[in-house]
Chains A and B, each alone.
Chain A
Amino acid sequence: MSPIDRRMLYHINWPLLGLAALLFAVGVVNLYSASGFRVETGQTMSSFYQKQLIWGAMGLVGMVAFLFLDYRHLKTLAWPLFVLAVLLLLCVPLFGKTIYGAKRWLDLGFFNLQPSEIAKISILLIGAKLLARGSRPMGWGELILVLLVGLVPAGLIIIQPDLGSGLSVLLLLGGMILYRGLRKGVLRVLLVVGPLLLPLSWFFLHDYQKRRIMTFLDPSTDPLGSGYHINQSQIAIGSGQIWGKGYLAGTQSQLRFLPEKHTDFAIAVFGEEWGFIGAIILLSLFSMFLYQIFVTASVAKDRFGSYLAAGVFFYFFWQILINMGMVLGLMPVVGIPLPFISYGGSAMVVNLCLIGVVINVSMRRFVFKRS
């Protein structure tokens, strides 16, 4: 364990920490408003924002722990963690707990572990480790190796079935690969072959997934099913207009026309109550947050640190892109939460730990001996 000296504290990415704190605060405040009544059972859920605070505190502990551990030790942890993740994924079909018809969780007694979360972190580490081995754009050999490593956990997650999480593992890895860069020849082939493969994947989708995509293309086909979500969230956001209806005054969310408003559709509540002005401010916070991670990636003094930061960047980037795209009606409905805004315990802990990793990279960028 390397000592923490004052120089390190000085080099902590304070803006990143501040932005994360701001986003967390916005999330809790918004959750308080969204905590009217739970649509499904009619139970009140005012405790959701309180629980989110507790999860935030736990995440903070995790984040501090990650600050003390020199991130370069993570490189040695990459393979063991990968093996552990794959083993856990293999356990799911055998001992998994079925919730909503899908086996995605392992019941550990005190809480339900979702191995796909571990898999995401392990892909982040493995990706950073493998990609950092070279510095020039990747050729076929390297690309295929990295993809093979990524496809193992991704495949195991997709057959659970959890297409959303499986794809986000692949997207995360894909983002990191693009960050490293591909040789022009490779890139050209992928640009041609990729779009050709896309329609083929249709045949591997479940019926409900196909239906969601069809609904996305034409919401009127299912006005009371997933089309209902899309319509209601757009009505909520749109009716906020420029200035919003005011905090706790969103008629759509307060009237409970809006489903899932505390999880995947939380931003619709925000958009209704704070309007266009609020939405732009929130969007700016997210952009600046991502920008600070970018800054860390660009100033890191070793390639592993840089790729680590880039991985965290894509980890957040895809979630924001997919969640907002879905709620704003630009993408089919897939269950991906919005970081810091959606209710969700394990996601919150993972988010804060990853911020710890990024800050770790930023604060240790001066510990290297001059070469």
Chain B
Amino acid sequence: MTSLAELEELCRIRIFEEQVRELALEREVIGSVHLCIGQEAIPVGVCAALEPRDALFATYRGHGWALARGVPPEELFAELLGRATGTNGGRGGSAYLSSARHGFYGENSIVAGSAPIAVGAALAAKFDGSGRVSVVCVGDGALNQGAMHEAMNFASAFALPIVFVCENNLYSELTPIAAMVADPELWHRAAAYAMPGVRVDGNDVDAVRAAARDAVQRARSGGGPSLIEAMTERLAGHYIGDVEQYRPAGEVDRAREREPIGRLTSQLVASGVAPQHCEAASQRAAATIERARAAALHAPAADVSLVREHLYA
């Protein structure tokens, strides 16, 4: 069920991230920023399976998740630029932004820190009758933090409506995940919690969407949690400025042959979509992002007079 709309969504995230990289190199965006270039199919596929009432929690590499969840790119740019119109008025920054009105309950710069919180959203759903499903995205490295184990066990023990999504881009920050685990098939861990686990091609929107729909449906119908391991590759460094000396020569070039935008474009063309329609989708995405960036750059700086507010009720 691939579509031009999904291609445009992938392109929006890709172009947003490329623009963020530019803004960071121009010193307009200050501080640590972690891009998801190459990983766009996972948020797009998972968010396609969600309803507005669902609660999404992400990791620090979460701009793509925010965009896929419907957070306006202008607000995200503004947040990264430290503007008053940012999703969080500049307080969350790149690694801790949220937008509750879009069902996006936040990134987290503690890699597994969002998992227990997402479990709590699922726990609340058990009592509030909302039918809400909670989804948490973490990276491969997060599976080695203790909070992840606690969260998965807790969720499974109480059959809570949550989906754990692991974006496995093969690197835990700068170190290969394979060197840090005895079993690099991380989805195997689901068995320890008696929950379904599945590994999917995370560069394939269809595959991600299908796995997410299964997992969300199971959660919503009382079947409890599940784990989706989505395999992908980073086309960017861990952070902007990462020289990636740890990556073997040619690895990123080979990854470009498998990345989700080229892949979805080929699928669409093979199914009969005219190439110029794919190109038009990309151009629409570029125009949207360019407008958002310009608007954010014109927005007022975060208001210093408010810096002490919102600490306590």
Is the pairing of A and B real?
Answer: no
**Residues of A that sit less than 8 Å from B by CB:** none
